[in-house]
Structure 1
């Protein structure tokens, strides 16, 4: 502070004008709030702006990549969409829980309708690839209706969900193919709010129409329950028919039914919300890698090609009859040599795909000479990799001849075949362009899963083991007991007592399974028909072990994949 007294104002200075008086507030009215006070009340800070904190996290930009993925808010759910969602939930509670079969397609039908209604309300058009993904998903749901094995069924269900995500999101690039299924999970929370608001709007606008509908449905259900129970008690045949058509509603199953109801409800909501406003995965920009020098990227791949060529030369020598010499030099047995290299060759195939992807990211393609070099080097690597694939499959075939076919062996062999198909697609993309490569790879994976399920791997395993028994007299009956009903037609050709030993556990599982028509696959029905016609010997004499009739636990039945 200064000790100098302040000077008086000059006499000729203009006096300040008085501030205008605020307008009078009428009696009983709320006085207006000044603008600066309104801003402070809305944000909690003077001036309406929060001061910058130097140690706080940086403010995110308004236009982030996540913001670009987000669609606009969808229109409210229509009555048709809500009815389809409710039908999915009720059918899930009624039909799921007793097994897997035709019930998955019955539950999926109203869910698909809910998504279709929501997409039509949002103004989305049906495109060719959307139709391809939708048809593929429904075809994959036919695998549980036809086959009994659990592993192909699981793959088919997961693949059907992935194709459904493709159909709802659209898109053609790698982000859409890789991250599309995540959009279904992202739509679950917003979809619940979206469906509730639509239901509330419909209820507020049609309160007078819901009463008669509810009363009509209630009276119809009551009449069906009362008279159905009376007729079931009056005739045993009608009771059996009714029991096979209607699921079990015992009190112990209430938690299970409720769980499937919620699963169907939220699953249908997620599908419908995604159809109305999907994430825009194609807006995710993947920047190409910095182009490397020609020698920097091409020299390592040329060396790798030489290594592949040397290995394939040895493999071709072996494949054309050089086993005796190779086994003599290595000291391995015939089956040990076949088993030794399959997993390494499978890993080499996978790593080759990674190498091709990285090379395409860093290889220069600005000049025609660069593009020609990329095609030559990577095309040679793809051709040599196909020889590695053929060698791996040949080794697996030799190993199966020595030890028999199992689920694990047929599964990894199928995967190796699909990897070879992917390499062929990459070679085609190098010639015709890579615009359709993401969709082609996804479609090939779905087609492979569909073919794998329809081919019935359990039936193929049983068929190969029966043929091996006819040729060598060797068979692993304990392993065959764990197969599904798909294997019954092949195992039925075995002589006794091997036939009854292999079919005994399968027959017991089918006998104890009380699932309705909607939870029974075609393979199960066919197996029951074969076993009912020919029967089995229930004695364990000649099976190589004691009977397990008393100690059988259907819930503890495993799914062995040991090689």
Structure 2
């Protein structure tokens, strides 16, 4: 015989079954109100974005990427206006950051700073569209693009269907005007081009060269550009409210239980730093006078270990804040002192890691990997400074500041031209000890040409041979796909061509094994 279940327990069980059937709570929590009907300006901007992507990005990136992104921004602005969303200071900062980051592909030929800039642009765009402020919002905002892409297609289709019954008197005059304008431009443009060769060259350089063979690629780019614009517009019209997701704080610990591991960690950091200072002011002679491989291992392995130590320290700080004692003002001061000391010691570790990398670069030259990880270490140091400031002035602004600092670091990294820095540093090292890895510098992008141009012949020609051959294979590049770095490199190589033969460069080691670590 089955036991009777109390009414309260039965009600609770029914509620649990309803909750399980309904699914998790957060998808309903973050969903905003339905988006307003799509505006005609948004649809037109999406169409223009598709055309811009198809015409300007088919030959590569460059200034064309920024120009193609402008219609997508207009589509998002029109959708936000229709939804009566007001511009706030932080989203305006993110938009300005997006525009600045998209200048990197226009300035630099190297793919890796441009790729980082595009990823950072997507992150700032997500923050601008969703208006996120908290850690869950900042970290999850980019995932909102997936939802906006799917819902944006249905949103645009509903808008097009609602306009299918529009009278011809509204759209036919505009269609006639566009057709007549296109016919006049083609007719008189062709006449003027045939009448003057200089005008024909100018027109050929300005107008994208589209052939039937490029049809599949241009079609894909058109669809992708229109989808990007509609995704941005849909997110602007009804963004997901990621900030509504609340992270419950961890169980606070007693002072002894919480502080003992951190105090011991601080003592370990202090001991390591004391050894570092001792070596710095009197012990480097032993290292410097040791054989090359031992010196290399000291600098290189030490840097990577200290980089990981910095990353793990940030994890420790995050977990410590989650379980910190919260009994009153005294506990808060205690937490600030312990974590502040850990942050200060970590900054010294960052400085030690950068010093080791500097030693390694002095001995073995600068590479892309070395400059990138050093830049990452500098940014991690900045994050620690921001955490320390948050402990003094409050942490509400910290998520946006960390993401903004990451985007600013990517911007500065691209503007500094890392490939150019690598070339200049290796040329300066050659001028000191007459050592240079020609096999490696040949693999750099066109941004390195001004730096490598300072080498004496035949080393100069051998160092530039790989870049010169790459640009020769690319052939003519239109203005909207050519970065400033490539334009400058082509000008230098046109004025001072590569002259050394393959045999000469081979004897100099230009085709040997490259060094990247």
Please give the TM-score of this superposition, normalised by the length of structure 2: 0.92
2:383 equivalent to 1:422: yes
- Residues 1:282 and 1:409: Cα distance change in structure 2 (over 3 Å): same
Instruction: Give the deviation of 1:193 after TM superposition.
Output: 0.9
Instruction: Give the deviation of 1:406 after TM superposition.
Output: 0.3
CA contact (8 A) 2:437 2:510 kept: no
CA contact (8 A) 1:89 1:264 kept: yes
CA contact (8 A) 1:187 1:274 kept: yes
RMSD: 2.6
CA contact (8 A) 1:118 1:276 kept: yes
- Residues 1:285 and 1:206: Cα distance change in structure 2 (over 3 Å): farther
For 2:289 and 2:515, the matched residues in 1 are separated by 32
Question: Which structure has the larger Rg?
Answer: 1
Matches within 5 A, 1:224-263: 224-225=185-186, 228-229=189-190, 232=193, 236-263=197-224
2:498 equivalent to 1:544: no
For 1:474 and 1:539, the matched residues in 2 are separated by 21
Aligned residue in 1 for 2:245: 284
Q: Give the counterpart of 2:366 among 384, 392, 405.
A: 405
- Residues 1:241 and 1:331: Cα distance change in structure 2 (over 3 Å): closer
For 1:547 and 1:410, the matched residues in 2 are separated by 24
For 1:215 and 1:546, the matched residues in 2 are separated by 66
* Structure 2 residue matching 1:365: 3-state secondary structure: coil
Matches within 5 A, 1:77-88: 77-88=38-49
CA contact (8 A) 1:136 1:160 kept: yes
Aligned residue in 2 for 1:462: 423
For 2:192 and 2:500, the matched residues in 1 are separated by 38
2:265 equivalent to 1:304: yes
- Residues 1:494 and 1:211: Cα distance change in structure 2 (over 3 Å): same
For 1:548 and 1:178, the matched residues in 2 are separated by 45
Instruction: Give the deviation of 1:216 after TM superposition.
Output: 3.0
2:178 equivalent to 1:204: no
CA contact (8 A) 1:88 1:265 kept: yes
* Structure 1 residue matching 2:419: 3-state secondary structure: helix
* Structure 1 residue matching 2:250: 3-state secondary structure: coil
CA deviations on 1:37-96 (whole Å, 9 max, x unpaired) are: xxxxxxxxxxxxxxx99xx99643488221010011011011111111111011111111
* Structure 2 residue matching 1:97: 3-state secondary structure: coil
* Structure 2 residue matching 1:193: 3-state secondary structure: helix
- Residues 1:501 and 1:62: Cα distance change in structure 2 (over 3 Å): closer
CA deviations on 1:120-164 (whole Å, 9 max, x unpaired) are: 111110100011000001000011111111000000011011101
CA contact (8 A) 1:338 1:399 kept: yes
Instruction: Give the deviation of 1:97 after TM superposition.
Output: 1.7
Instruction: Give the deviation of 1:316 after TM superposition.
Output: 1.1
Q: Give the counterpart of 1:475 among 425, 428, 436.
A: 436
* Structure 2 residue matching 1:295: 3-state secondary structure: helix
- Residues 1:326 and 1:306: Cα distance change in structure 2 (over 3 Å): farther
For 1:492 and 1:202, the matched residues in 2 are separated by 60
- Residues 1:410 and 1:347: Cα distance change in structure 2 (over 3 Å): same
Aligned residue in 1 for 2:516: 562
* Structure 1 residue matching 2:165: 3-state secondary structure: helix
* Structure 1 residue matching 2:505: 3-state secondary structure: coil
For 1:548 and 1:328, the matched residues in 2 are separated by 30
CA contact (8 A) 1:407 1:561 kept: no
Q: Give the counterpart of 1:155 among 109, 113, 116.
A: 116
2:493 equivalent to 1:520: no
Instruction: Give the deviation of 1:227 after TM superposition.
Output: 5.2
Aligned residue in 1 for 2:275: 314
For 2:371 and 2:296, the matched residues in 1 are separated by 17
2:53 equivalent to 1:73: no
Matches within 5 A, 1:16-27: none
CA contact (8 A) 1:408 1:561 kept: no
- Residues 1:453 and 1:212: Cα distance change in structure 2 (over 3 Å): same
For structure 1, the 5+ residue unaligned runs are 1-51, 550-559
Aligned residue in 2 for 1:387: 348
Matches within 5 A, 1:4-403: 59-61=20-22, 64-225=25-186, 228-229=189-190, 232=193, 236-325=197-286, 333-403=294-364
* Structure 1 residue matching 2:506: 3-state secondary structure: coil
- Greater helix fraction, Structure 1 or Structure 2: 2
Instruction: Give the deviation of 1:234 after TM superposition.
Output: 5.9
* Structure 2 residue matching 1:209: 3-state secondary structure: helix
For 2:461 and 2:288, the matched residues in 1 are separated by 40
Instruction: Give the deviation of 1:546 after TM superposition.
Output: 9.8
- Residues 1:539 and 1:282: Cα distance change in structure 2 (over 3 Å): same
Greater mean alpha carbon deviation, residues 359-368 or residues 406-415: 359-368
Greater mean alpha carbon deviation, residues 314-323 or residues 449-458: 314-323
How many residue pairs get matched?
502
For structure 2, the 5+ residue unaligned runs are 1-12
For 1:331 and 1:527, the matched residues in 2 are separated by 36
